[in-house]
Chains A and B, each alone.
Chain A
């Protein structure tokens, strides 16, 4: 038998195996070809013909504006009719997609990254369900989706996607996404930080058909209702999203009737291609070079540890490359991992909200930008790692990129927004769940996550509690309205805390405090999911300082509502006063990191948190002393901060400033800096260490070598060092086991001492 015959036989066998595998797919997991790709799809023949037929920019813009109005109209519909807490305050979006699945137009308000990530499930549906005899796509169908591994950021957000047809041919897709909250996870509210595996995270819906002939399929709706804690919410919002998609369908069909199908197809495609071209043009104006940032996320939500997020942003010609290699490895049993596509969606949001908000809100804006991550890192996590709290790694990644962008943009002549210090980046809010006063089981969250402080700008202070980093025109909600539905009060709400400020020439916008308690339920509890209790998560810019760090404070073992009735003068209405004065006798006062797993709150017990400040901008000694006095007048800072940080001299009674003395104080501080500062080369000889501190649990690369990844030590597990091309998932011990081990060690120590004393 000759060599070639062997080869033929081998090829035949290979073909048979390939065919067998194609005919016997065990299941259709996320498709890397779809999930790792964020460019717009190639132009189709239909689009080519349509664009050749209609290319008048004025007409195409008119159509795009018409469809944009349709998106904004449906956004309003969804916000007004949606039942989810998220829907009520703008944590949603609607959009129109090309037949290939690219987001062509998104509503002006709402969470852009939702829509910019719905192209993945649409592309999955097109690729796998269009020709699948048991599924198919036809007019009147609708598909549901929420699994981040197939698109979007985490499974609390549900999308409904509807194909739009004209004369039997698909011309577009309509999509609506809402942060629904409840999803049947191990904890109520949809963002389970206790999840140790993907199966703890609740409903994980790969895209499937739930609508036929424009009607929800009752059997599937029933199944979904049985899978979550809020069956009414699940049904109502599926209905609302379907009607919203139908309104979008109406608007597309109306545009087709008025302008012709080719014009609509051409307009959608032209908007994408022009956006991509324009972004490339704008990038050429940036300076050539590389800008780098390191951000330390300080926990997994179960425990504190240093999780390195770093980016090296290189701009070359019309290309921008974001290289996150060297960042932390993924965590096998923690839910702070990010799917690569989710990271890209958040970065797309950075450019559309903070850099080029004038561009059409479509996904092509991000198309020319490349993202590189290590596989099995926390920013490019693998299939089986949980991701319900992916924000704990991709928000810091957003901030790292935001800081880099500011350094590219400062000297660039063409800007479309202010140069800005990082926005506060944590969802400091209560997630809640339990039995309501109406005897309903619910789980969801407060809108206060939208009250993040804005970053200071190059010519003015940041805005207080203005908006989340992930949405424009979102609201912080009305607590009084919430109280009609849920049994807890925010006893203190929307109150700015003194010195909760990122200092600088211009200060960050501050965040407000929230003190919540259960009043009317026999079973009610809270969760909190934020990092930044040991290390700030929001740095400043150009000498501006970061935000402070933020604890979760609790008062347990007392019904403070009873004290409010019997001895109201005892009540203090600020976290600081309650924690430092301890006014309620017999109560237990504790402060924690902000990763609180669901915990029951008895009547009158207090859970207290703070929204965060945006980063500061510039040197504190450059702050206009008059603005310091203004902050004092508004009780935003203490006298100590005015004197010690800003070096302003004034009469504390009258707040009249002493201009000369202030100048002297600031000159003295500048001289003191020069005295205590050490020349860089001398400094690094002392400062630089070859590896992370031995007693700090550290995850990620160290210094400039991004190929060596450190992990640990933690709770007796020694530090591991890995190559970045062979990262192993990190398995963290159960915090309860860690605590038991600590207590057992203490017990042994005590027993040893007792035995010694006995001898």
Chain B
């Protein structure tokens, strides 16, 4: 039985492994931090959140200060999916963010069925159905076809 734990990670309960849900890469032992099985890159936050105001004129530009914060990007070694983006001050050890009790998880899932994507995402509000929105061009295309 594989139990999805995040958008990109699941735990294979039989083999006690963190797995990538995109490419089935074996990330690492489920009783350890999944981060230990991923690739990491410390990123200057301005590469993602670019300065919108002129940085030559202003100290505050809508971009974070790289001396105060960096983005640790965790990639799946198999498919390169960005599994987690962690914002930390430079040098702060990565946080062990998920530690689940694997034995308890096995007991919990003994009688459960696998979840559908809709069940994983959670229910819609009463009376609202999901309408995936598209660009005008795609709508026009669909309308015309």
Contacts and interface: CB of A to CB of B under 8 A. Distances in A.
Interface of A: 285, 287-294, 296, 298, 306, 310, 407, 409-411, 413, 415-419, 457-461, 499-500, 503, 505, 533-536, 539-546, 548-553, 576, 579-580, 589-593, 610, 617-622, 626-627, 629-630, 633, 640, 645, 655-656, 669-674, 676-681, 683-684, 687-689, 692-693, 695-696, 698, 702-704
Contact of A589 (B57, B79, B101): B57
Interface string B78-101: 011111110111111111111111
B53 A576 contact: yes
Given A460-B132, A626-B135, A693-B67, A289 B73 contact: no
Contacts of A672: 80
A753 B124 CA distance: 69
Interface residues of B, number: 82
A195 B37 CA distance: 48
Given A411-B120, A419-B121, A536 B64 contact: yes
Contacts of B54: 579-580
Contact of B85 (A533, A543, A696): A543
Nearest to B4: A411
Given A407-B98, A545-B48, A698-B89, 7 more contacts: A413-B112, A413-B119, A548-B63, A591-B58, A656-B137, A679-B39, A703-B92
A677 B136 contact: no
B135 A696 contact: no
Nearest to B59: A591
Given A539-B87, A633-B136, A579 B101 contact: no
Contacts of B85: 539-540, 543-546
Nearest to A589: B57
A677 B77 contact: yes
A689 B91 contact: yes
Interface in B42-57: 42, 48-50, 52-54, 57
B91 to A, nearest CB: 3
A407 B6 contact: yes
The 4 closest A-B pairs by CB, nearest first: A677-B39, A689-B91, A670-B80, A551-B60
7 contacts: A293-B97, A415-B123, A419-B120, A457-B122, A459-B130, A543-B7, A543-B8
Contacts of A503: 48
Contacts of B42: 683, 687
B104 to A, nearest CB: 4
B133 A630 contact: yes
A288 B11 CA distance: 14
Contacts of B59: 591
B112 to A, nearest CB: 6
A298 B61 contact: no
Given A539-B87, A551-B58, A621 B92 contact: no
Contacts of A674: 39, 75, 77, 80
A591 B53 contact: yes
Contacts of B6: 407, 410, 542
B39 A680 contact: yes
A533 B38 CA distance: 30
Contacts of A579: 53-54, 57-58
Contacts of A553: 53
A627 B134 contact: yes
Contact of B136 (A288, A505, A630): A630
A673 B62 contact: no
Contact of B40 (A416, A536, A544, A683): A683
B121 A630 contact: no
A626 B141 CA distance: 12
Nearest to B10: A411
A287 B101 contact: yes
A539 B95 CA distance: 14
A407 B4 CA distance: 11
A676 B41 contact: yes
B95 A673 contact: no
Contact of A580 (B53, B120, B122): B53
Interface string B102-131: 001100100010010111111110000010
Contacts of A698: 89
Given A535-B65, A536-B49, A543 B130 contact: no
A462 to B, nearest CB: 13
B64 A458 contact: no
A594 to B, nearest CB: 9
A534 B64 contact: yes
B115 to A, nearest CB: 6
Contacts of A677: 38-41, 73-75, 77, 80
A552 B134 CA distance: 34
B7 A458 contact: yes
B60 A673 contact: no
A511 to B, nearest CB: 12
A290 B77 CA distance: 25
B10 to A, nearest CB: 8
Contacts of A688: 91, 93
Nearest to A358: B126
B99 to A, nearest CB: 5
Nearest to A610: B62
A645 B48 CA distance: 7
B7 A618 contact: yes
B33 to A, nearest CB: 8
The residue in A505, A535, A549, A553 that gathers the most chain B C-beta atoms within 10 A of its C-beta is A549
B55 to A, nearest CB: 10
A185 B34 CA distance: 50
A338 B137 CA distance: 50
The residue in A417, A553, A674 that gathers the most chain B C-beta atoms within 10 A of its C-beta is A674
A679 B76 CA distance: 10
A671 B19 CA distance: 19
A678 B41 contact: yes
A644 to B, nearest CB: 8
A545 B115 CA distance: 26
A554 to B, nearest CB: 11
Contact of B53 (A294, A460, A551): A551
A616 to B, nearest CB: 8
Given A458-B7, A630-B133, A673 B100 contact: no
Given A417-B122, A645-B48, A296 B90 contact: no
Contacts of A419: 120-122
Given A551-B58, A680-B40, A534 B65 contact: yes
B68 A680 contact: no
A627 B3 contact: no
B93 A704 contact: yes
Given A411-B5, A630-B134, A680-B36, A293 B91 contact: no
Contacts of A413: 112, 115, 119
A551 B101 contact: no
Contacts of B97: 291-293, 407
Given A591-B59, A633-B136, A289 B39 contact: no
Interface string B1-44: 00111111010000000000000000000000001111111100
Nearest to A419: B122
B145 interface: no
A541 B97 CA distance: 12
Given A534-B65, A535-B69, A680 B120 contact: no
A85 to B, nearest CB: 28
Nearest to B103: A288
A575 to B, nearest CB: 8
Contact of B115 (A294, A411, A461, A627): A411
